């Protein structure tokens, strides 16, 4: 089970067990072994981006969204952060438990359609399998997507002094889901902000062009996971100023109550960008113009020190920001 | 005639060893030379009659100078008819091979030098920085070996003619004293105030001195500096005093307003402050000293000693809600000069920014503390290596080190070593002190601190490099680290391997390291080991800390522990101890948690909202690791009793609980023991339920606190004793931070002794995490040699 959490254990499982037998096609720019958000295959003059993701979530309906919106947004965002903001096609494959209520299926389908419209994307083919009661827990949706990236923005391209931008406040998705699933009442209105980001990122690319080096959606492993991954793949350090990272007071409060760090809480609909210094301000302004980027902020920069690691400047000192552990172990004595 | 070539290793440089050798050689009519080697050893060539050489060697072995510590002497003797020398001489130092010893620690100004400082006839009269071969700074001023004036930060102060002639005069006390100085040639004082400092000039002057910042205003030098600093302190001001290995923020220890200002400005709301008093008599006005405490205070190491406070000579806010106070005597001429003008004791807390190491250059002191201090008393000798004050406590009649630093570092502690293994140990994460094993010696760094901060982590790396430098040691082949996967020290150990600096990394479980530290200190093979602390990563992924291990230095079996209880919020539960109270209550009876918390008005820093979330968190098991920690059990009791509900410094709830318990007497409870996964556990949820019952019955807080400690100690001791008997082991040991608790430690020792078993605990390294590095080395040193 530890392997599902998305951290080091998952990466290891994928790298050593699942990806090793395949190898990358000779001309892939980013292949499976790069373990990026999507694969990039050159076709003629164009960079074809391909990605797939299976979505399971408990509960399937939650404040701010549902599994349908999540399944579309997740794949659209994986394409977008590779540079393919123009989504050419999506596929959808559902595996459903036999007694799954039709009304719920309809709600999910409607939600997928609405999210596709928002992302200017369409599901072009699909598949449905029904399994027996108890053989699966409710519903699993796999979506795959194809897009074209005029400029590829892989995880591995951050350089020292690149400015790190964040498109939105963090933690809402993960903490609201947790509260909903476990029935924990914080006395505040927490809701997921799951959303497709390709429209927002398209605007950023229009302004920033090739000066946008890296984009990544900070999903299961939270902002801490995303930053660590790009620092490691880029071979640079990343320095983050804690006070600049937008966190709503509700998320902050809930995190404090549970002893959870918002940096380590899952998001769906928040992206990290690394932008060359000369374009950083323009790109940030452009992000902020867009309703999905109102809270965008410059949160730090690439540094030529602490290679492969993320340094968090807390205002009274610095510490390493670690990615979430599968089994968090207390360290204070 | 014979010629002897003598090689002496240990602490033999910078302790007056060469002048001593000179005097003994001359007395025995020998000719030859003595020189310092580059590895901290000394080489002597001596020619003369065989019996004169015998007598000379006996003198070296039996009556070396007070600060010297000889670990080995090798002698090569041969007959010779041709003499090579006409006199006996101290010759220039030489570089040499590796691993012979180390330079000594910084030591308090000696009585002779203090007498010079007091003597109006002496040319050292009122000169704060006077020192001799027996005293003064060493470790914190040396840059590299061999120890000589030009390898220290005293190189920036060329000797005046008078000092030079004393330095060269074999009859003088300061003959070859590398730190010799007087008011004409040595380091100087300056006092000043600042407003909003941001220095731009370099920290070190061209001459190599610690530059006085330009931002210093209304300055005074020399005697005037002392006068002004003392006047400010008497006025209730906060004054930074730069001392030997670092700086203190000081204020009057009898002035509540000044202490409150100090607390507010440094954001140390509750942390106990150390106090320096001019002499033992003053200390006796607010404590009741035992002879061991008095000796420890007086020793040339001059540690802070935690002593039970009795009288009313200090302001209450010095050590809020604690029954002990940390006290020390002056150790630098600066302190003595200040006490010439101030009678009352002074609060002295280390001058550092939150989470960062102590400040050491004048620039950083002034820039960092411009908003904290009203005045700065500085000097211009560079601190090459910082070194915090050491802290000790006399527990159960014996000295326990809480922090082994100034006065100790970098002195080695012997460590039984199977092979010729050399290794570096990097400790755990908090209270880190690193250590290097070289042959049978374990060299210890100064106290480094909590390396979750990157500044402190950088300090750790620097401290290790300095230790290699001052012991003339190469990087060892092995690095030992804690088993915790997310400790910065664990990452550092791996980096050392990745960069090829060391060949391999070895992990040692936290409590095994604690247990091994005691075994190695006593050269004991095996003990039923009580390891009681706050947190350690267990091999099963849960949080350990109340463990009974059947341990040897090579391995261990976990034969008992406290019952694991939920720790809602993980680390949050450590700073909000009521979360532990809820966790233990939940383990006892999930249905009664809310009612009990409410009935006894257990306070959560986040109020009722936090309490309700914590209960839901326990029910849904979100971020709720399990812990068997003894420290956390004591925290939970402290919160239940309202003794401490928010932790602002390490150990606060348990320390305040101990203080409360000191005023009470225990009720007799028997510790409930049950069985879990094949090991025996003290059923803490059941014990806790009994404590709650006492609370409901109206028993006083001090009595319940005492009952909790005593019953816990008895339960754990009984577990260890039973297992020792079943397993045919004669010794029970105690380690971990809980060993500082007087009541718990003496109860365990009593139980063990009454059972006819022998009891051992840490004496030379801290039982807390400052002793982990020694234990880590003990484990690798015990591995069969390859
Ligand atoms: Fe410990
Ligand atoms: Mg992704
Ligand atoms: Zn002296
Ligand atoms: Zn002089």
**What is the DSSP annotation of A32-90?**
GGGT-SSEEEEETTEEEEEEEEEE--SSSEETTEEHHHHHHHHHHHHHHTTT--EEEEE
Query: Does residue A184 sit in the same domain as residue A315?
Result: yes
> Which B residues in the span 743-782 are in contact with A, Cβ-Cβ below 8 Å?
769
- Chain B residue with the nearest C-alpha to that of A315: B354
The answer to whether residue B36 is catalytic is yes
How far apart are the CA of B759 and the nearest CA of chain A, in angstroms?
Answer: 25
- Chain A residue with the nearest C-alpha to that of B354: A316
- Chain mean pLDDT for chain B: 94
| Range name among B34-48, B580-594, B715-729 with the lowest pLDDT average | B34-48
Q: What total of structural domains would you count in chain A? A: 2
Query: Does residue A105 sit in the same domain as residue A174?
Result: no
Look at residue A4 and tell me if it is in a domain. Answer: no
Which residues sit opposite B735 in a β-bridge?
A: B531
Which residues sit opposite B694 in a β-bridge?
A: none
* Short-list B694, B686, B745, CA closest to B565: B686
How far apart are the CA of A268 and the nearest CA of chain B, in angstroms?
Answer: 21
Residues of A in contact with B569 (CB under 8 A): 257-259
Query: Does residue A159 sit in the same domain as residue A267?
Result: yes
pLDDT at B258 over 60: yes
Residue ranges per domain, chain B? 2-90, 189-379, 529-771
pLDDT at B786 over 90: no
- Phi, psi torsion values for B45, nearest 5 degrees: -115, 125
Look at residue A102 and tell me if it is in a domain. Answer: yes
Residues of B in contact with A182 (CB under 8 A): 616, 620, 622
Q: What is the pLDDT of residue A3?
A: 47
Query: Does residue A84 sit in the same domain as residue A170?
Result: no
Residue B276, SS3 per DSSP: strand
Q: What is the pLDDT of residue A12?
A: 73
pLDDT at B99 over 60: no
Query: Does residue A168 sit in the same domain as residue A224?
Result: yes
pLDDT band per the 50, 70, 90 thresholds, residue B181: very high
Ligand 3 center–CA B115 separation, angstroms: 9
Which of A317, A322, A331 faces B455 most closely, judged by CB atoms?
Answer: A317
| Range name among B119-123, B166-170, B187-191 with the lowest pLDDT average | B166-170
Query: Does residue A164 sit in the same domain as residue A312?
Result: yes
- For residue range A28-71, list pLDDT tens digits in order: 777 777 778 789 998 888 899 999 999 999 999 999 999 999 99
Point out the ligand nearest to the CA of residue A53: 2
Of B456, B481, B575, B613, which to mutate for an interface test with A (greatest number of A Cβ within 10 Å)?
B613
Query: Does residue A182 sit in the same domain as residue A210?
Result: yes
Which of A184, A260, A329 faces B616 most closely, judged by CB atoms?
Answer: A184
Q: Which residue has the tokens 């399944």?
A: A71
CATH number of the structural domain spanning residue A258:
3.90.650.10
Q: Is the peptide bond before B10 cis (omega within 30 degrees of 0)?
A: no
Same fold, B2-90 and B189-379: no
Phi-psi region of A243 (alpha: psi -120 to 50; beta: other; left: phi over 0): alpha
Ligand 3 center–CA B116 separation, angstroms: 9
pLDDT at B26 over 50: yes
> Which B residues in the span 37-66 are in contact with A, Cβ-Cβ below 8 Å?
none
More confident residue, B258 or B411: B258
Q: Which CATH topology does B2-90 take?
A: Alpha-Beta Plaits (3.30.70)
Point out the ligand nearest to the CA of residue B533: 1
Q: Span B529-771: which CATH code?
A: 3.30.420.40
pLDDT at A167 over 60: yes
CATH number of the structural domain spanning residue A138:
3.30.1330.10
Ligand 3 center–CA B181 separation, angstroms: 12
Where does a domain end: A133, A149, A165? A149
Query: Does residue A80 sit in the same domain as residue A117?
Result: yes
Ligand 1 center–CA A329 separation, angstroms: 14
- Cβ <8 Å between A184 and B622: yes
- Cβ <8 Å between B485 and A329: yes
The answer to whether residue B35 is catalytic is no
Ligand 4 center–CA B190 separation, angstroms: 18
Q: What is the pLDDT of residue B97?
A: 45
Query: Does residue A304 sit in the same domain as residue A176?
Result: yes
pLDDT band per the 50, 70, 90 thresholds, residue A307: very high
pLDDT at B220 over 90: yes
Cα dihedral sign, B245-B249-B252-B254:
negative
In angstroms, what CA-CA distances link A282 with A80, A165, A245, B524, B622? 19, 11, 19, 69, 41
Query: Distance between CA atoms of A2 and A5, rounded to whole angstroms?
Result: 6
The secondary structure of residue B667, as a DSSP letter, is P
Query: Does residue A174 sit in the same domain as residue A45?
Result: no
Which of B485, B491, B613 faces A258 most closely, judged by CB atoms?
Answer: B613
Ligand 2 center–CA B233 separation, angstroms: 61
Residues of A in contact with B534 (CB under 8 A): 332-333
Point out the ligand nearest to the CA of residue B537: 1
Phi-psi region of B74 (alpha: psi -120 to 50; beta: other; left: phi over 0): beta
How far apart are the CA of A187 and the nearest CA of chain B, in angstroms?
Answer: 8
Ligand 3 center–CA B222 separation, angstroms: 20
How far apart are the CA of A254 and the nearest CA of chain B, in angstroms?
Answer: 9
Q: What is the pLDDT of residue B494?
A: 97
Query: Distance between CA atoms of A121 and B80, rounded to whole angstroms?
Result: 100
Judge whether A326 is closer than 8 Å to chain B, CB to CB.
no
**Cβ neighbours of residue B415 closer than 8 Å, sequence gap 6 or more:** B437, B440, B441, B442, B520, B774, B777, B778, B781
How far apart are the CA of A66 and the nearest CA of chain B, in angstroms?
Answer: 22
Where does a domain end: A122, A149, A176? A149
Which of B356, B429, B650 faces A331 most closely, judged by CB atoms?
Answer: B429
**Cβ neighbours of residue B545 closer than 8 Å, sequence gap 6 or more:** A333, B511, B531, B532, B533, B534, B535, B536, B562, B627, B628, B629, B630, B631, B632, B736
- Chain B residue with the nearest C-alpha to that of A175: B622
Ligand 4 center–CA B161 separation, angstroms: 7
- Cβ <8 Å between B650 and A322: no
Residue A234, SS3 per DSSP: helix
Look at residue A185 and tell me if it is in a domain. Answer: yes
pLDDT at A1 over 50: no
In angstroms, what CA-CA distances link B283 with B225, B259, B280, B395? 26, 18, 5, 19
**Mean pLDDT across B639-654:** 97
Query: Does residue A241 sit in the same domain as residue A123?
Result: no
Phi-psi region of B621 (alpha: psi -120 to 50; beta: other; left: phi over 0): left
The secondary structure of residue B382, as a DSSP letter, is -
Class at the top of the CATH hierarchy for domain B189-379: alpha beta
- For residue range B745-763, list pLDDT tens digits in order: 999 999 999 999 999 999 9
Look at residue A2 and tell me if it is in a domain. Answer: no
Q: What is the pLDDT of residue A70?
A: 97
Percent of chain B with pLDDT over 70: 99
pLDDT at A166 over 80: yes
Query: Distance between CA atoms of A18 and A25, rounded to whole angstroms?
Result: 16
**Mean pLDDT across B320-335:** 97
Q: Are strands B31-36 and B88-90 parallel, antiparallel or unpaired?
A: parallel
- Cβ <8 Å between B567 and A258: no
Query: Distance between CA atoms of B361 and B247, rounded to whole angstroms?
Result: 9
Please give the residue range of the domain that contains residue A68.
Answer: 36-149
pLDDT band per the 50, 70, 90 thresholds, residue A21: low
Look at residue A184 and tell me if it is in a domain. Answer: yes
- For residue range B604-630, list pLDDT tens digits in order: 999 999 999 999 999 999 999 999 999
How far apart are the CA of B388 and the nearest CA of chain A, in angstroms?
Answer: 20
pLDDT at B83 over 90: no
Which of A183, A259, A320 faces B571 most closely, judged by CB atoms?
Answer: A259
pLDDT band per the 50, 70, 90 thresholds, residue A159: very high
Judge whether A1 is closer than 8 Å to chain B, CB to CB.
no
Look at residue A300 and tell me if it is in a domain. Answer: yes
* Short-list A44, A71, A45, CA closest to A57: A71
Look at residue A172 and tell me if it is in a domain. Answer: yes
pLDDT band per the 50, 70, 90 thresholds, residue A147: very high
Identified catalytic residue from B3, B9, B24, B36 = B36
pLDDT band per the 50, 70, 90 thresholds, residue B145: confident
- Chain B residue with the nearest C-alpha to that of A325: B486
- A&B contacts, CB < 8 Å: 110
Which residues sit opposite A41 in a β-bridge?
A: A48
Q: What is the pLDDT of residue B102?
A: 76
Query: Does residue A81 sit in the same domain as residue A167?
Result: no
- Cβ <8 Å between B575 and A330: no
> Which B residues in the span 516-555 are in contact with A, Cβ-Cβ below 8 Å?
533-537, 541, 543, 545
Residues of A in contact with B430 (CB under 8 A): 332-333
Of B266, B461, B486, which to mutate for an interface test with A (greatest number of A Cβ within 10 Å)?
B486
B756: how many CB neighbours lie within 10 A of its CB?
9
Which residues sit opposite B77 in a β-bridge?
A: B4
- Chain B residue with the nearest C-alpha to that of A307: B495
**Cβ neighbours of residue B419 closer than 8 Å, sequence gap 6 or more:** B781, B783, B784, B785, B786
* Short-list B406, B402, B146, B221, CA closest to B300: B406
Q: Give the angle subtended at the CA of B174 by the CAs of B173 and B179, to the nearest 5°.
A: 150
Q: What is the pLDDT of residue A6?
A: 54
pLDDT band per the 50, 70, 90 thresholds, residue B94: low
> Which B residues in the span 447-476 are in contact with A, Cβ-Cβ below 8 Å?
452-455
Judge whether A318 is closer than 8 Å to chain B, CB to CB.
yes
Judge whether B359 is closer than 8 Å to chain A, CB to CB.
no
- Cβ <8 Å between B622 and A182: yes
> Which B residues in the span 163-222 are in contact with A, Cβ-Cβ below 8 Å?
none
pLDDT band per the 50, 70, 90 thresholds, residue A19: low
Look at residue A11 and tell me if it is in a domain. Answer: no
Q: What is the pLDDT of residue B316?
A: 87
Where does a domain end: A149, A169, A202? A149
């Amino acid at each position: 089970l530890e392997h599902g959490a998305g951290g080091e254990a998952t990466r290891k499982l994928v790298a050593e067990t699942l990806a090793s037998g395949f190898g990358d096609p000779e001309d892939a720019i980013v292949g499976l072994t790069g373990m990026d958000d999507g694969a990039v295959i050159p076709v003629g003059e164009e960079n074809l981006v391909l990605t797939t993701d299976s979505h399971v979530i408990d509960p399937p309906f939650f404040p701010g969204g549902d599994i349908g919106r999540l399944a579309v947004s997740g794949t659209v965002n994986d394409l977008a952060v590779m540079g393919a903001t123009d989504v050419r096609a999506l596929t959808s494959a559902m595996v459903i438990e036999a007694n799954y209520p039709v009304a719920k299926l309809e709600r999910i389908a409607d939600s997928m359609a609405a999210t596709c419209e928002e992302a200017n994307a369409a599901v072009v083919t699909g598949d449905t399998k029904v399994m027996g009661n108890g053989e699966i827990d409710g519903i699993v949706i796999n979506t795959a997507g194809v897009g074209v990236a005029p400029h590829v923005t892989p995880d591995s391209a951050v350089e020292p002094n690149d400015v790190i931008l964040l498109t939105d406040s963090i933690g809402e998705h993960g903490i609201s889901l947790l509260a909903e699933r476990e029935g924990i009442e914080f006395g505040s209105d927490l809701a997921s902000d799951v959303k497709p980001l390709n429209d927002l990122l398209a605007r950023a690319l229009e302004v920033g062009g090739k000066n946008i080096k890296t984009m990544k959606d900070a999903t299961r492993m939270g902002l801490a996971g995303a930053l660590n991954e790009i620092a490691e793949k880029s071979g640079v350090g990343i320095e983050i100023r804690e006070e600049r990272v937008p966190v709503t007071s509700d998320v902050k409060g809930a995190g404090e109550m549970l002893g959870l760090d918002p940096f380590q809480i899952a998001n769906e609909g928040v992206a990290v960008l690394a932008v060359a210094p000369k374009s950083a301000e323009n790109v940030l302004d452009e992000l902020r113009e867009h309703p999905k980027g109102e809270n965008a902020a410059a949160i730090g920069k690439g540094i030529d020190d602490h290679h492969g690691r993320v340094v968090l400047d807390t205002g009274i000192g610095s510490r390493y920001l670690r990615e979430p552990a599968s089994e968090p172990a207390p360290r204070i004595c | 005639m014979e010629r002897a070539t003598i090689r002496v290793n240990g602490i033999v440089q910078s302790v007056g060893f060469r002048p001593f050798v000179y005097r003994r050689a001359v007395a025995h009519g020998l000719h030859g030379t003595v020189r310092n080697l580059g590895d901290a050893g000394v080489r002597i060539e001596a020619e003369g009659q065989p019996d004169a050489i015998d007598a000379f060697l006996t003198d070296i072995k039996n009556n070396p100078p007070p600060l010297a510590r000889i670990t080995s002497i090798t002698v090569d003797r041969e007959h010779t008819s041709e003499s090579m020398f006409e006199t006996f001489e101290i010759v220039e130092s030489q570089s040499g091979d590796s691993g012979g010893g180390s330079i000594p620690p910084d030591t308090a100004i000696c009585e002779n030098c203090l007498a010079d400082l007091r003597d109006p006839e002496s040319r050292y009269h009122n000169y704060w920085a006077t020192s001799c071969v027996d005293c003064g700074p060493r470790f914190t001023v040396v840059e590299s070996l061999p120890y000589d004036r030009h390898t220290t930060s005293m190189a920036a102060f060329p000797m005046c003619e008078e000092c030079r002639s004393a330095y060269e005069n074999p009859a003088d006390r300061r003959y070859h004293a590398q730190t010799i100085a007087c008011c004409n040639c040595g380091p100087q004082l300056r006092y000043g105030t600042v407003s909003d400092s941001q220095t731009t000039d370099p920290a070190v002057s061209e001459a190599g001195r610690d530059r006085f910042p330009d931002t210093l205003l209304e300055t005074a030098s020399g005697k005037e500096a002392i006068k002004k600093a003392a006047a400010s302190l008497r006025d209730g001001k906060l004054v930074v005093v730069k001392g030997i290995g670092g700086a203190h923020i000081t204020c009057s220890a009898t002035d509540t307003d000044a202490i409150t200002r100090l607390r507010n400005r440094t954001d140390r709301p509750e942390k106990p402050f150390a106090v320096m008093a001019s002499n033992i008599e003053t200390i006796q006005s607010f404590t009741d000293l035992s002879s061991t405490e008095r000796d420890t205070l007086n020793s040339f190491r001059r540690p802070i000693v935690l002593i039970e406070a009795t009288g009313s000579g200090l302001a209450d806010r010095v050590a809020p809600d604690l029954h002990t106070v940390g006290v020390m005597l002056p150790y630098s001429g600066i302190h003595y000069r200040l006490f010439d003008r101030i009678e009352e004791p002074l609060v002295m807390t280390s001058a550092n920014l939150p989470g960062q190491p102590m400040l050491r250059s004048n620039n950083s002191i002034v820039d960092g503390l411009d908003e904290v201090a009203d005045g700065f008393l500085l000097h211009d000798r560079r601190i090459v290596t910082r070194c915090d004050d050491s802290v000790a406590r006399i527990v159960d009649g014996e000295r326990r080190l809480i922090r082994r630093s100034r006065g100790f570092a970098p002195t080695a502690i012997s460590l039984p070593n199977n092979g010729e293994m050399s290794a570096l140990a990097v400790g755990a994460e908090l209270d880190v002190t690193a250590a290097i094993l070289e042959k049978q010696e374990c060299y210890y760094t100064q106290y480094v601190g909590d390396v979750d901060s990157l500044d402190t982590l950088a300090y750790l790396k620097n401290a290790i490099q300095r230790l290699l430098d001052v012991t003339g040691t190469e990087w060892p082949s092995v690095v030992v680290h804690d088993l915790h996967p997310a400790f910065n020290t664990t990452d550092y150990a791996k980096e050392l391997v990745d960069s090829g600096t060391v060949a391999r990394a070895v992990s040692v479980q936290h409590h095994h390291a604690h247990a091994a530290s005691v075994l190695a200190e006593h050269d004991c093979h095996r003990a039923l080991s009580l390891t009681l602390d706050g947190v350690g990563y267990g091999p099963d992924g849960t949080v350990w800390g109340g463990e009974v291990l059947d341990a040897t230095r090579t391995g261990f079996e976990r034969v008992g522990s406290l019952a694991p209880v939920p720790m809602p919020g993980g680390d949050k539960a450590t700073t909000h101890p009521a979360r532990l109270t809820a966790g233990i209550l939940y383990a006892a009876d999930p249905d009664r948690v809310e009612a009990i918390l409410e009935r006894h008005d257990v306070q959560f820093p986040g109020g009722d909202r936090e309490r309700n979330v914590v209960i839901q968190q326990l029910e849904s098991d979100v971020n709720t690791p399990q812990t068997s920690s003894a420290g956390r059990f004591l925290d939970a009791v402290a919160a239940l009793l309202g003794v401490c509900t928010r932790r602002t410094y390490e150990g606060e709830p348990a320390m305040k609980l101990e203080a409360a318990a000191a005023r009470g007497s225990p009720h007799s409870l028997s510790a409930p023991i049950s069985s879990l996964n094949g090991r025996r556990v003290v059923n803490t949820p059941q014990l806790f339920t009994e404590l709650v019952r006492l609370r409901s019955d109206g028993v006083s807080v001090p009595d319940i606190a005492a009952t909790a400690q005593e019953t816990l100690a008895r339960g754990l001791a009984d577990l260890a004793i039973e297992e020792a008997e079943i397993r045919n082991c004669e010794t029970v040991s105690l380690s971990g931070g809980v060993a500082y608790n007087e009541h718990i430690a003496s109860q365990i020792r009593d139980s063990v002794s009454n059972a006819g078993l022998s009891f051992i605990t840490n004496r030379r390294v801290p039982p807390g995490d400052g002793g982990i590095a020694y234990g880590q080395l003990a484990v690798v040193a015990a591995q069969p040699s390859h």
